[in-house]
Structure 1
């Protein structure tokens, strides 16, 4: 790209150290105030930038890509998931897409365990009781939850995050089961003592906890649909730190309300930040605002990966975290 500094547009505020480094390296336009860009703003940004740095809340579809200028050559996504970007259309138009894989693994796995514990041990109910001022002191049968040790955990999607969840859950004494597009290598399976299920239906019907850790793709949309949710034991708990679209949220809400599923811990939702109000009312549901990867360390590392991808591209090389349509 020669010695000219690349024009980079960032769609949301990033950690300060990341923004400072970007200013040093590129001709960067930062987002101020920190609000989501409208479609019009996104379209305009894609016309004036060499590189766009979007995040999960920016939906970049074929229509928007058609408006992109000749300059746009790279979409360096801030985050691992790229289901909000039409990667196929981007590649057809000569625009590369990169992401930041691996960075969120440990943090998301930590949050998955936190949700499993929060739901099974009724932590939010305990918090609410303390905050209400109504607690009358300890009692032998008060606030009884369930023991996590010995429970069967069914992991849906055994990639980096799923495997990290398995390691943690193993340390808590849980039995590890998983369903994945393809079976893990024997040595990884042995390390976490995981049982592979080719049939998702059969796995789901036997588990105590289901953890959704697969990406959102056309083939995983509503993978946990009403029919599959009905296979769960009434004592089962569902946890999702991946993508909301993998679960039919309306069906899940209906079943939780009817007592057909014991509880749920959700960090992601099918319709972004618009959450079913009936879901919010339930005491056996723990809802978090997409915090799975929200650690200072993780978000800075994510920014560093974006910078490496953009810098490598600026130097005329293939970005290390290039997303190839065949991967999706």
Structure 2
């Protein structure tokens, strides 16, 4: 059972706030948090959820999470001592921010520190998709390579093609720079608000309506945050507008793309290929996607360099220490709750 893998650090004589580290993480994080708090640790890669998470959080004032643990009103009701929820992820659709704010619970995430690493990966995944790297590697490993052909795994060029970005935040702009400055790509994008004119000019970026973006892009990269308004933002209708030679790369969140519709579109030749790092219901992957050869699949690892993951985790720890010791959490999502805190 999940509770069997909970362990508690040795405590001193002076009472200190108790914090749950809800996922295995770097030793430096335990060391930093252990300087301030009594720690309870969940030492399994399987995330605590629902009643198991509520049980582990009993008597805890703070929790360090990895980004998938569900923090909702029911859990907050069951854990009245909870004062801070600090995540090492950027996305926070797993947290009911409104419910946390109403109960005076500080919430933080870990933006900025993963921008360049994630952009590196997103561009690499797009290139692997365009040039059919995964498909050709499997072909070679199976021993199927017997002779050279002029069209053997001929894919799509990246240089000089049209890069479409859906979601032009920090990561989207970092991917744009790689495409425009490094590969001479034409850049089109859609965002809820346009970039400042100087930024557009520096990249030669053209803002398009979403339907036009789908039709124009040779390589579409999706980097929008997930929420109710972006659920299945890219579905059957949007995919039908894409070029049959186009690729789609999703490094946003599972649920932004309708995975079932994407599998159908790929199978029917409505677009050439897809690169996916995120999935609906992950770690499960839609079985039709698994059966397709023209999809590059990776297990949600866009930010996974050791240096970046360590920086994300330490930022979450810094937020947690500040939130529970009277400081100013550096990346609080609802800093207004700090004004409601009682001293101590």
Place the TM-score, normalised by the shorter chain, in its bin: over 0.9
Bigger mean CA deviation after superposition, 199-208 or 19-28: 19-28
Deviation at 1:220, TM superposition (A): 1.1
The equivalent position to 1:195 in structure 2, one of 184, 206, 213, is 206
Cα contact 1:45–1:52 (8 A) shared by 2: no
Whether 1:162 and 2:162 are equivalent positions in the alignment is: no
Whether 1:97 and 2:103 are equivalent positions in the alignment is: no
Distance 1:168 1:44 in 2: 46
In structure 1, the partner of 2:295 is 285
In structure 2, the partner of 1:301 is 311
TM-score (norm 1): 0.93
In structure 1, the partner of 2:10 is none
Whether 1:110 and 2:113 are equivalent positions in the alignment is: no
- Matched residue SS, 2:76: helix
The equivalent position to 1:271 in structure 2, one of 268, 275, 281, is 281
Cα contact 1:215–1:243 (8 A) shared by 2: yes
Cα contact 2:239–2:270 (8 A) shared by 1: no
Distance 2:199 2:17 in 1: 42
Cα contact 2:83–2:324 (8 A) shared by 1: no
The equivalent position to 1:184 in structure 2, one of 180, 184, 195, is 195
Distance 2:23 2:177 in 1: 33
Whether 1:61 and 2:72 are equivalent positions in the alignment is: yes
Q: 1:3-49: per-residue Cα shift (whole Å, max 9, x none)?
A: 95331101110122222322233222222233321422211233321
Deviation at 1:314, TM superposition (A): 2.8
The runs of 4+ residues in structure 1 deviating greater than 6 Å are none
In structure 2, the partner of 1:16 is 27
Bigger mean CA deviation after superposition, 255-264 or 19-28: 19-28
The equivalent position to 2:91 in structure 1, one of 67, 70, 81, is 81
Distance 1:29 1:207 in 2: 48
Deviation at 1:325, TM superposition (A): 9.8
Distance 2:27 2:325 in 1: 24
The equivalent position to 1:48 in structure 2, one of 52, 59, 62, is 59
Q: 1:33-85: per-residue Cα shift (whole Å, max 9, x none)?
A: 3332142221123332110112222112222222122x211111121110001
Deviation at 1:189, TM superposition (A): 1.6
Deviation at 1:216, TM superposition (A): 0.2
Cα contact 2:232–2:256 (8 A) shared by 1: yes
Whether 1:240 and 2:250 are equivalent positions in the alignment is: yes
Distance 2:272 2:91 in 1: 29
Bigger mean CA deviation after superposition, 31-40 or 121-130: 31-40
In structure 1, the partner of 2:6 is none
How many residue pairs get matched?
A: 322
- Matched residue SS, 2:229: coil
Distance 2:202 2:145 in 1: 44
Gaps of 5+ in 2: 1-13, 337-344
The equivalent position to 1:31 in structure 2, one of 42, 57, 68, is 42
Superposition RMSD in Å: 1.7
Gaps of 5+ in 1: none
Distance 2:221 2:128 in 1: 14
1:148-159 aligned within 5 A:
148-159=158-169
Cα contact 2:106–2:323 (8 A) shared by 1: no
Cα contact 1:87–1:325 (8 A) shared by 2: no
